[in-house]
Amino acid sequence: MALRTIIEVPDPRLRLVSTPVDTVDDELRDLIADMFDTMYDAPGIGLAAIQVGVPKRVIVMDLQEQEDEEGKPIREPRVFINPEILEPAEEHSIYTEGCLSVPDQFADVERPARCRVKWLDEQGKSHDEQFEGLLATCIQHEMDHLEGIVFIDHLSRLKRDMIMKKLNKARKAA
Ligand code: GNR
Ligand code: NI
CATH of the domain at 60: 3.90.45.10
Query: Could you tell me if the CB of 45 is within 6 A of ligand 1?
Result: yes
Query: Could you tell me if the CB of 145 is within 6 A of ligand 1?
Result: yes
Residue 5 lies inside a defined structural domain of this protein: no
User: Are 104 and 173 contacting, i.e. CB atoms less than 8 angstroms apart?
Assistant: no
Neighbours of ion ligand 2 (CB under 5 A): 99
Residue 3 lies inside a defined structural domain of this protein: no
Residue 64 lies inside a defined structural domain of this protein: yes
Residue 117 lies inside a defined structural domain of this protein: yes
Residue 22 lies inside a defined structural domain of this protein: yes
Residue 42 lies inside a defined structural domain of this protein: yes
Give percent of the chain with pLDDT exceeding 90: 98
Residue 70 lies inside a defined structural domain of this protein: yes
Instruction: Give the mean pLDDT of 24-36.
Output: 98
Query: Could you tell me if the CB of 111 is within 6 A of ligand 1?
Result: no
Residue 63 lies inside a defined structural domain of this protein: yes
Confidence of residue 1 (pLDDT cuts 50, 70, 90): confident
Residues 106-149 have pLDDT tens digits of 999 999 999 999 999 999 999 999 999 999 999 999 999 999 99
pLDDT of residue 20: 99
Confidence of residue 164 (pLDDT cuts 50, 70, 90): very high
Average pLDDT, the chain: 97
Report which secondary-structure segment, H or E, holds 127.
strand 126-132
Q: What is the chain's length?
A: 174
Q: Of the bound ligands, which one is closest to the alpha carbon of residue 150? A: 2
Residue whose CA lies nearest to ligand 1 atom number 14: 99
Q: Distance between CA atoms of 58 and 50, rounded to whole angstroms?
A: 8
Residues 44-86 have pLDDT tens digits of 999 999 999 999 999 999 999 899 999 999 999 999 999 999 9
Domains contained in the chain, number: 1
Q: Distance between CA atoms of 69 and 57, rounded to whole angstroms?
A: 36
* Cα 120 → chain centroid: 16
* Cα 78 → chain centroid: 12
Catalytic residue flag (residue 142): yes
Output the CA 98–ligand 1 centroid distance in Å.
5
Residues 4-13 have pLDDT tens digits of 999 999 999 9
For residue 35, give its domain range: 12-173
